[in-house]
Structure 1
């Protein structure tokens, strides 16, 4: 028998031998025939030799995010709220944007988010003649609209539509002036805030409420009402707890006005901001019951961390502590998220004064039945010769009936020159004079809530006719806050917004090339308006949205007046950090922005919608922003920065 001779095997270079091959090599020399099988002995990575196994590459960690302008849809309408609240449907790649100027919802195709196009509208007139759409929400292809009746104090409606065909599916009646609405996470329930604002002349004042709507069968939605009737007769108790109940002759149910709603991750609990009341309502969704009214407290602007600019005259950046001035948080938008097994509430502290009948000459002529305006400048409140000089101008008749004038506490306001019976320099424009405050709070009262009267010398005197203001209450917190499920303050951004806008680090414009401080506290509907909003509510944070990226939670806060979006990392609720600010207003110097509407950019962000990458039309996370003054819907791309 013949034999085939094999050449001697040569040991391969050490760099070519994996652990399993190395162990097998001596045996292969003795069993030459198995040389043919040598290539089959692959390195499978399951060696017991841990020292020689390659370590896996570390996963990238998200360190930050940055906004950039991707696309924009423009209605061509200025100052008429032609783009307010956005929603997004991933299946159709459509954005649904409330156009209050039309009273409808614009439907935008975002298949190419760099170039949104109008493809249709949702018109609520089929539900009720003269009806207008106030807000929109979307879940799993169902679009929900909050629909205001032609007479806003009448009960409104919610309409449900298909996102693909725009066909009406079902409708249901709700309370007066339905505004913000939102689905529970499972999509089976829809909640709507029925604000219940009074008529402009304050002759009709409907009750506020929250409608809890079963939409498991969208063709036949069923609504229940979570109302505030249980607090009627308990107005004094609410006031003592810090809830603002102050409308003329209003019951608690009439005075409480739900604005915006957030829902817990498990869908069991909701919270509604009661903006004008500086409070929250907590709602048990299963029973459709308001279980608590939670006061939000006040922000001490006398602290350095809460410093603010309070004057627009002369125009200047003057951020400083103001002892005796308290901010009413008065949040507009609210959102909920979970951290460490707990629910936290994130709020944009806009502030909003009651102002009804302000365009009625009869009200300013002294007819208190024709309206109610609570806003008043400090310089007019503290006139040494009393209120009479403001009659027929801006003096609310309710204040005129309360006293002949008012004083500033000389101890609290000694820092700006107040003395007994004289406000001193406190009422100067460069000090507190220009600041708008509420006259309804801050003056000294007795145990029954009646004002304690003083004479013109500053002495307490039952026969006197002067109020004594121990504190002044300004509108809004000029910040955003994080609170726990019971409404307790966990964290607040303090004076960070105004401080950053006044810093050298801040830049505005699509290219981020315009110094923010050049246009500090500008208004959204006027050009060349440096410092014009400092006497009111500053940058005025209004909209808020939450997004999760790379295991982190981010808050996006729209600044209504200054414009743009602030971004914070709120992963740790007790220690949020600033991440980015992006403002796409391009023209800041033209006196009338409406004359450069095609190039001015975005003015007055109202509503924001985060779109996760796996839902996005281009596979990247987006932020959709409705801008009510410029009538534009901006599409921001969110760049993720990894380390």
Structure 2
């Protein structure tokens, strides 16, 4: 009772101080300005109380009514106008929601980019101090895009400026004076046009006349071999470093002077000097050894159950999507959601694959994904011609072998994969054919005969390792890109446990729908062969003296919350998944709830419409925006 009384008294004092701070008046006191009593110096702002823990609760949401077409992706929030801005990729616009009552969001308008750039669509949104920044993709996407600025209160267009190709995620520096955008620069579907990736740094001291500087990767051209040896993936057709690097997401230091951009397909991190608009370094994230205890995966989607095992010789490529930065102990740390993403262009063009008689045309695209059972078939991969055999792979050799030195444990021997190729082993796992096989110093493959004998006249590649997409985890790194902590196999283990429950009421056992797909019901184990739960989005929020990471899981759905105050020892806090129907084959026909979280936005209590910390979640499959409340425990 004594502790509770102290907490209550402290809460009352905090609320009283907050009320004083928030009051405007003739003395020039306004939001965010400390009250100065007569004859005294400035009063130090009252610090927010630090919770012991919290639970997530869905208190409201907005539904577009559009299923499976990315009608709700990236959310952002403006405290002054109490408005949420949510990218609606289906319409190519931003939906504007009034969150005055966060339990009942109301759509009050939209932001469209057609007047800025004909035929364009909006990819991302960010808000700071009443200014809304949107990333606008041109048509075609390989042309330079735009960033436009709007007034949050009345949605008026303030200005726009040209940036690189396919601007996607964008973010304000903490002081609001600059906006950084990740210009992804993806190739055309046939890979005939491949623009350079870059990060634009837009100065908006006067938002009506923005000035752009660009941090590009041209200084790394000619260093491709060096970067590959370090572990940076550079493998697009005829690509130099500048064209191959595809910035996905950007995080900033507390002083706004350093930025970090994930280069997702390259499995690398770009470190950027913001003031100089210069990429200082590109460092590899490395690979996760799924053969080590605590880092296993469920590699098969055929047994319809959770079967999380270690797999020596299988390495996970982090390939993170979202990244967030925070301070702990005076140092900056980075949090990544390790989604995994392959290069897969031209996969819808029949000419790329061929028809089994006419060979596939390698000039029509590039697909690096291949199922392990086809890659290591003792008969070679010719049987996949006209189906899913990439012509670039077929030009290298006629088949692949597993090195018994790495894979004897599952039955590999000279010239045969043994049971390793079985569906309940590694056969169903989707891997990259572009790496893992033995090469000479110049990068050309070391060839073997079909019997597993090394021979320059052979026609088989020898795979020492298999590289899988994503690591089914989230990680914490230091500011140099060195790993401090990784969640290992904790996410899949949690979904396989009795502790995990689904639905807003938390009554549905997770293990009954382990690794389900986000677009279909009755899909138990569906994603085990390919990236599992698929962590994609991450945002960090500070409450009192603690930092919390919120990780959105694209396929399994829902949001994981972790206390990351100690970067080397994060602690699980909560998980909430507000998908309600898990069995209907076509969830678009029922009130299925929220499916496919894409982006997240944390709203601290001081900026929240209801005075409590909130989390906004854009769900791309259900086309819904979820409002979650953090119910704090002291």
TM-score, normalised with respect to structure 2: 0.91
* Corresponding position of 1:529: 523
* Corresponding position of 2:363: 369
**Within 2, Cα distance between the matches of 1:589 and 1:463?**
53
Deviation at 1:314, TM superposition (A): 2.5
* Corresponding position of 1:626: 618
Answering whether residue 130 of structure 2 is matched by residue 141 of structure 1, we say yes
Answering whether residue 381 of structure 2 is matched by residue 387 of structure 1, we say yes
**Within 1, Cα distance between the matches of 2:217 and 2:545?**
39
Q: What CA deviation, in whole Å up to 9, does each residue of 1:19-63 have, x standing for no partner?
A: xxxxxxxxxxxxxxxxxxxxxxxxxxxxxxxxxxxxxxxx98621
* Corresponding position of 1:611: 603
**Within 2, Cα distance between the matches of 1:311 and 1:154?**
40
Counterpart mapping for 1:564-583 below 5 A: 564-583=558-577
* Corresponding position of 1:545: 539
**Within 2, Cα distance between the matches of 1:113 and 1:244?**
43
Answering whether residue 447 of structure 2 is matched by residue 458 of structure 1, we say no
* Corresponding position of 1:46: none
Deviation at 1:132, TM superposition (A): 0.3
Contact 2:56–2:576 (8 Å) recurs in 1: yes
Deviation at 1:115, TM superposition (A): 0.5
Counterpart mapping for 1:27-42 below 5 A: none
* Corresponding position of 2:512: 518
Secondary structure of the 2:351 match is: helix
* Corresponding position of 2:246: 257
Structure 1: 5+ residue stretches without partners: 1-58
* Corresponding position of 1:587: 581
Secondary structure of the 1:272 match is: strand
Counterpart mapping for 1:352-363 below 5 A: 352-363=341-352
Contact 2:539–2:550 (8 Å) recurs in 1: yes
Answering whether residue 81 of structure 2 is matched by residue 92 of structure 1, we say yes
Secondary structure of the 2:379 match is: coil
Counterpart mapping for 1:172-211 below 5 A: 172-211=161-200
TM-score, normalised with respect to structure 1: 0.90
Secondary structure of the 2:392 match is: helix
**Within 1, Cα distance between the matches of 2:111 and 2:146?**
14
Deviation at 1:550, TM superposition (A): 2.8
Deviation at 1:265, TM superposition (A): 0.1
1:312 to 277, 301, 305: 301
* Corresponding position of 1:34: none
Counterpart mapping for 1:411-490 below 5 A: 411-490=405-484
Q: What CA deviation, in whole Å up to 9, does each residue of 1:362-401 have, x standing for no partner?
A: 0001100000000000000011111111000000000000
Counterpart mapping for 1:484-503 below 5 A: 484-503=478-497
Distance 1:61 1:290, change over 3 A: closer
Structure 2: 5+ residue stretches without partners: 1-47, 355-359
**Within 1, Cα distance between the matches of 2:233 and 2:627?**
38
* Corresponding position of 1:45: none
* Corresponding position of 1:280: 269
Number of aligned residues: 582
Secondary structure of the 1:305 match is: coil
Secondary structure of the 1:478 match is: coil
Q: What CA deviation, in whole Å up to 9, does each residue of 1:471-520 have, x standing for no partner?
A: 00000011000000000000000000000000001001010000000000
Answering whether residue 398 of structure 2 is matched by residue 404 of structure 1, we say yes
**Within 2, Cα distance between the matches of 1:381 and 1:562?**
28
Q: What CA deviation, in whole Å up to 9, does each residue of 1:210-231 have, x standing for no partner?
A: 0011011110101111000001
Q: What CA deviation, in whole Å up to 9, does each residue of 1:272-315 have, x standing for no partner?
A: 00000000001100010000001000000001110110010132
Deviation at 1:262, TM superposition (A): 0.1
Cα RMSD, aligned residues only: 0.8
Show structure 1 runs of 4+ deviating over 3 A: none
Answering whether residue 499 of structure 2 is matched by residue 505 of structure 1, we say yes
**Within 2, Cα distance between the matches of 1:89 and 1:459?**
65
